[in-house]
Amino acid sequence: MTTKLLYGNLIAKEIRNEISKIIEKEILNKDKRIPHLGIILTGNNSSSITYVNNKIKECKNIGIKYSLIHLPINSLENELLEEIKKMNKNPHIDGFIVQFPLEKNINQDKIILSINPKKDVDGFHPENFGKMALDIKTFFPATALGILTLLERYKIKISGKYTVIIGRSRIVGRPISILMSRKSNFGNSTVTLTHSKTPNIEYYTKQADIIIVAVGIPGFLKGEMIKKGAIVIDVGIHSNEKKILGDVDFYSVYGKASYLTPVPGGVGPMTRVMLLKNTLMAALNNRQKDK
Ligand code: GUN
């Protein structure tokens, strides 16, 4: 079977252009105050540093202002809470993120709860997560929103389809399970959320029309675990000395799936552009509030 690749990098480019136009028309033409994203990075996890550098590159490309606070390894929870407080109060910051994972000595729940929900462009605060679950407009987590948008732009119907998600993380698995199943124009999928304690995951994946893999294990989903014509979304990104791999075993799935996201160039660029979209939304909300 011919497998079509879902090029997140091309769709992200399209969306970047749309965001640029809105910034120009709705913001720069009016009050000249450029949208401003805050980023707090802790420690020296090399993947986090790469992710943050890529987010900064996106901001620079599109002309969104950014401020980076990089706290050194072994910083205390209080020091991070102090930086969050400053971002919450700073009227020039439209929205901000704290890059995860955090070091072991820092309580992630406490951090998420301390972020002002109106500036929570990651959509991780319970107020925003709850709104998402209730179908109320708010910031949606970027990767989940990116996957949904990628499917939508490629005109892949999800309504009535059976979706299996592998991985229940707060960042990807759980939010995408909510968004795929919601009662909305682009939703209405029947969803099973599988995870590390699900026995016989292939029992589910073999029946799935759409499979979203966010399990953090390189090459986890093999061709033999899917039905012919399945749509496969690979959220994983792992690099070894030779190449970058996803959570999908690309060569056994390619030729059996109808659509597949490449790694790199699939979900990653969509995640980054959705962060810009959320930042734009925060900036527009702020300017509305100032009127
Ligand atoms: N770590 C991995 N993905 C993400 C994300 O989307 N946001 C934040 N803040 N941290 C992450």
DSSP letters spanning 113-130? HHS-GGGBTT--SHHHHH
What domains appear along the chain, each with residue ranges and CATH number? Answer: 31-116 (3.40.50.10860), 142-268 (3.40.50.720)
Does pLDDT of 32 surpass 80? Answer: no
Q: How many CB atoms lie within 10 A of CB 255?
A: 12
Q: What is the pLDDT of residue 115?
A: 98
DSSP, collapsed to helix, strand or coil, labels residue 56 as helix
Q: Strands 238-239, 244-245: parallel, antiparallel or unpaired by DSSP?
A: antiparallel
Q: Which residues form the catalytic set?
A: 55, 99, 122
Does pLDDT of 36 surpass 90? Answer: yes
Q: What is the pLDDT of residue 291?
A: 67
Token pair of 3, please?
């497998």
Name the pTM for this structure: 0.97
Does 94 sit in the ligand 1 pocket, CB within 6 Å? no
Q: What is the DSSP string of 87-116?
A: HHH-TT--EEEE-SSPPTTS-HHHHHHHS-
Task: Calculate how far, in angstroms, residue 180's C-alpha sits from the geometric centre of ligand 1.
Answer: 20
Average pLDDT over residues 168-173: 98
Task: Calculate how far, in angstroms, residue 14's C-alpha sits from the geometric centre of ligand 1.
Answer: 22
